[in-house]
Amino acid sequence: MRLVLLGAPGAGKGTQARRLIDKLSVPQISTGDLFRKNLKEGTELGERARYFMEEGRLVPDALVVDMVNDRLAEADCERGFILDGFPRTLAQAQALLDSGTKVDRALELAVPWTDVVERLAGRLTCRDCGAMYHRTFSPPAGGTCEGCGGGDIYTRADDAEATVRNRIDVYRDQTAPLVGYYYRGGEHVTVDGVGAPDVVYDRILQALEI
């Protein structure tokens, strides 16, 4: 299955992607990982991207799509893939299709905006080991990290409420229109993303008929 995950920041895409990787036996493709890999290895695509980044310019959609397609051509993607965080815009989605890569399903995890803010603004992170907690749903016992035995717990700048609301605005403007794009193409399916991860996962399996 060739799958695109859609949903606002904090909708649970990362959590469910990890489960679907095992279920479908396909890799999760993240553009952030691809950029880091290509830049580190000094590939032709990485060097082309570096030029734009050092100029302080956005990497063109066509180059991002080239990087994605280069990864999708690897052997472990023969049975399918999960695209997480890409495409982010209508232009990227169309460029991906124009390049010859068609997705089977675009799965949207639907979560109310108020829930998204609560999920993200409540996140806590261990400064030492990076373990994640939530001040409401999974607070660390004693206020320190249980994973590494006492690391300092703090709120990342990305998880501050003002930043969270800005991230939501960016998603609404740039990425939410993909729902309509994939709906018109017949690939869109939506799943209620509210509830325990196990419950949401069962809904996903039913929606994808797997």
CATH of residue 91: 3.40.50.300
Residue 74 in domain: yes
Q: Of 120, 170, 126, nearest to 149 (Cα)?
A: 126
Residue 180 in domain: yes
Residue 154 in domain: no
Residue pointed to by tokens 């993200």: 120
pLDDT at residue 186, as a whole number? 95
**Catalytic-residue membership of 105:** no
Residue 80 in domain: yes
Please write the tens of the pLDDT for every residue from 141-160: 888 898 888 888 998 887 88
pLDDT at residue 156, as a whole number? 84
C-alpha–C-alpha distance, residues 56 and 62, integer Å: 17
pLDDT at residue 31, as a whole number? 81
Mean pLDDT, range 1-17, rounded to an integer: 90
Residue 27 in domain: yes
- Give the residue numbers spanning the domain of 25: 2-111+162-208
**Catalytic-residue membership of 50:** no
pLDDT at residue 2, as a whole number? 95
Between 113-121 and 161-170, two packed helices, what is the crossing angle to 10 degrees?
140
**Catalytic-residue membership of 102:** no
Residue 135 in domain: no
**Catalytic-residue membership of 79:** no
Supply the pTM of this predicted model: 0.79
Among the listed residues 37, 48, 88, 165, the single catalytic one is 88
Domain count, the chain: 1
Q: Of 74, 75, 64, nearest to 99 (Cα)?
A: 64
